[in-house]
Chain A
Amino acid sequence: MITFNNVSKKYGSNEVVKEASFKINPGEFVSLVGKSGAGKSTLIKMLIGEEKPSKGRVIFGQYEVNKLSNKELPELRRHMGVIFQDFRLLPKKTAYENVVFAMEVAGRPQKEIDEVTPQVLDLVGLATKKHNFIHELSGGERQRVAIARAMVNHPDVIIADEPTGNLDPINTWGIINLLMKINELGTTVILATHNKEIVNQLEKRVISMEDGKVIRDDEKGKYILV
């Protein structure tokens, strides 16, 4: 479903991703690990089309992401749910409206939006705070809104870039459990993190990066970095 084929990315003379190649199959839960600056976020940016690779190909399903134009990107992104460390929620909208927005841009009918949105917010544990504005929510709650928004359109893949970076341990595990649940329902999950404890407890596939290179790719792997 997702293929990185000999992908490199340079900013000026600084090469932050070096000839990365790997495949991710449908339904997998993959942890992308590495220290800060290892190239995890750049890989994710290239997958969602925020950055173009300097070399190589990025394939997502039927799309060759590196060849998509600015106008074609929204179509690609409607097949993905993206979660970030800094949440990236629309600050002038409520939790409910943030989720609704993702459905509206995908052109979902109003009836379906009215039905599904409360269910998804209930699933992430925000049924009672759905009409709160984003600034009225805690970090953990904001990340739950982000997850609700990411999953509401039944994407092919959920991409989470350091989703627990700003959260305390209790909220961290709440978010990881939600991602596990989404994966159990059949959605591919890519989790970029440098949290060793999480990766080791998940016992899922681990792709390790160091200095822009993929140095290890283990089924049921551990966080092993020098």
Chain B
Amino acid sequence: MFTTFYRIIKYGFQNFSRNYLVSIATILVLLLAVIVFEGLLIFGVVGQKAIDLVQDKIDISIDFRETVPEDEMLKLKSSLEGLSEVKMVEYISKDEALERFRERHPEDSDIARALEEIGDNPLRASLNIKAYNPKDYSAIAAYLNNESLSPIIEMISYNQNQLVIDRLAKIVDIGRQAGFLLTILLATVASIVSFNTILLAIYSSREEIGIMRLVGASNAFIRGPYIVIGAIYGFLAAAAGVIITIPFVYFVSPFVSVLIPEMNLWGYFIGNLFTILGYNLAFAVTIGVVSSFVVVKRYLKG
């Protein structure tokens, strides 16, 4: 068993090196597929970050009426936290709202003077509500628009911004769907191109496969080396894919930061280098091995 396994591995490496032109051509095509795949991975991360940022900007805030006691406000906060659609509820008291307002306008003397003239804190206590899914804001708004809550709620921001929120929610949704479809489409194209390249590489060996069968080689003994070669193709293409992408990401990263300031693409790439290599390996080696397996099967008849 071990001897047969050793012989299969030996023939895999031998065929790989003796057909070096075919090997190089196949690896180059597989490399293109890996680069597309890796590009999709990175694009996915950048896209997700952009979508998260947009999503993070969406929220509903409610202002309480002046006379509402704090325990009632906190009661509403807890009831909102009990909703499955709600991700987070932040309570901002009157004092905290004033403090934040001052922090936002530290050098605006007109505002400071106006606040001094009023004497009292004119701001309202409020709740900031974030949903898991932007689509759910309408449901949360409906919950808050309940008649029983109108004595304590003065204003719901959703009612003013409904159009913008719904549009942003749609953009987030379409962005996710488009990203998913693009990933499926390009990954499928890359896989088909790689499969066909391996098909052509093995097609050139179909007579050899016939000869091996004639001298009594079992299907496993014939197929084994081709699967080893497929794995070698995949391994080298995956490694080359990462190496080629390093300078590209380094160059592109500052431009991404301009568009999405919170995104450090270079830091993400280096921090996840081995994970990306792992994904590349899983993608390329799977294509190499599965393609070889399927193609050789066609020639193992007769």
Binds A, one of B46-54, B81-89, B215-223: B215-223
Q: Which of B212, B213, B216 neighbours the largest number of chain A CB atoms within 10 Å of its CB?
A: B216
Chain B residue nearest to A51 in the complex (CB): B302
The answer to whether B214 touches A48 (Cβ under 8 A) is yes
The answer to whether B3 touches A90 (Cβ under 8 A) is no
Q: List residues of chain B with CB within 8 A of the CB of A16.
A: none
Docked CA distance A102–B212 (Å): 8
The answer to whether B208 touches A73 (Cβ under 8 A) is no
Q: List residues of chain B with CB within 8 A of the CB of A77.
A: 213-216
Docked CA distance A221–B123 (Å): 120
Q: List residues of chain A with CB within 8 A of the CB of B217.
A: 74, 101, 105
Q: List residues of chain A with CB within 8 A of the CB of B210.
A: 88
Docked CA distance A89–B212 (Å): 9
Q: Which of B4, B214, B218, B219 contacts A88 (CB 8 A)?
A: B214
Number of interface residues of A (CB under 8 A): 27
The answer to whether A75 touches B212 (Cβ under 8 A) is no
Interface residues of A in 145-193 (CB under 8 A from B): 149, 153
Docked CA distance A10–B35 (Å): 52
Chain B residue nearest to A50 in the complex (CB): B302
Chain B residue nearest to A88 in the complex (CB): B211
Q: List residues of chain B with CB within 8 A of the CB of A153.
A: 216
At the interface, yes or no: B15 with Cβ under 8 Å from chain A? Answer: yes
Q: List residues of chain B with CB within 8 A of the CB of A107.
A: 3-4
B170 CB to nearest A CB, Å: 56
Given contacts A89-B211, A90-B211, contact A74 B216 (CB under 8 A): yes
Q: Which of B7, B211, B221 neighbours the largest number of chain A CB atoms within 10 Å of its CB?
A: B211
Q: List residues of chain B with CB within 8 A of the CB of A149.
A: 215
Docked CA distance A82–B210 (Å): 13
Docked CA distance A14–B213 (Å): 27
At the interface, yes or no: B301 with Cβ under 8 Å from chain A? Answer: yes
Docked CA distance A23–B98 (Å): 109
* Number of residue pairs spanning A and B whose beta carbons lie under 8 angstroms apart: 57
Docked CA distance A50–B213 (Å): 10
Docked CA distance A42–B7 (Å): 33
Docked CA distance A173–B1 (Å): 42
At the interface, yes or no: B19 with Cβ under 8 Å from chain A? Answer: yes
Docked CA distance A88–B213 (Å): 11
B82 CB to nearest A CB, Å: 63
Q: List residues of chain A with CB within 8 A of the CB of B4.
A: 107
Docked CA distance A91–B216 (Å): 17
Interface residues of B in 10-31 (CB under 8 A from A): 15, 18-19
At the interface, yes or no: B300 with Cβ under 8 Å from chain A? Answer: yes
Interface string of A48-90 (1 = CB under 8 A from B): 1010000000000000000000110111111010100000111
The answer to whether A92 touches B15 (Cβ under 8 A) is yes
Q: Which of A80, A105, A109, A110 contacts B212 (CB 8 A)?
A: A105
Interface residues of B in 244-302 (CB under 8 A from A): 300-302
Q: List residues of chain B with CB within 8 A of the CB of A101.
A: 212, 215, 217
The answer to whether A74 touches B219 (Cβ under 8 A) is yes
Chain A residue nearest to B218 in the complex (CB): A74
A65 CB to nearest B CB, Å: 13
Q: List residues of chain B with CB within 8 A of the CB of A70.
A: 219, 300-302
Q: Which of A73, A76, A110, A149 neighbours the largest number of chain B CB atoms within 10 Å of its CB?
A: A73
Chain B residue nearest to A107 in the complex (CB): B4
At the interface, yes or no: A106 with Cβ under 8 Å from chain B? Answer: yes
26 A-B residue pairings within 8 Å (CB atoms): A50-B214, A50-B302, A70-B219, A70-B302, A71-B218, A74-B216, A74-B217, A74-B219, A76-B216, A77-B214, A77-B216, A80-B216, A88-B210, A88-B214, A90-B212, A91-B208, A92-B15, A92-B18, A92-B208, A101-B212, A105-B212, A105-B215, A105-B216, A105-B217, A107-B4, A110-B3
A residues sitting closer than 8 Å to B (CB atoms) are: 48, 50, 70-71, 73-78, 80, 82, 88-92, 101-102, 104-107, 109-110, 149, 153
Sample of 9 further A-B pairs with CB below 8 A, known A88-B214, A101-B212: A50-B214, A70-B219, A71-B219, A73-B213, A74-B216, A77-B215, A89-B211, A104-B221, A105-B221
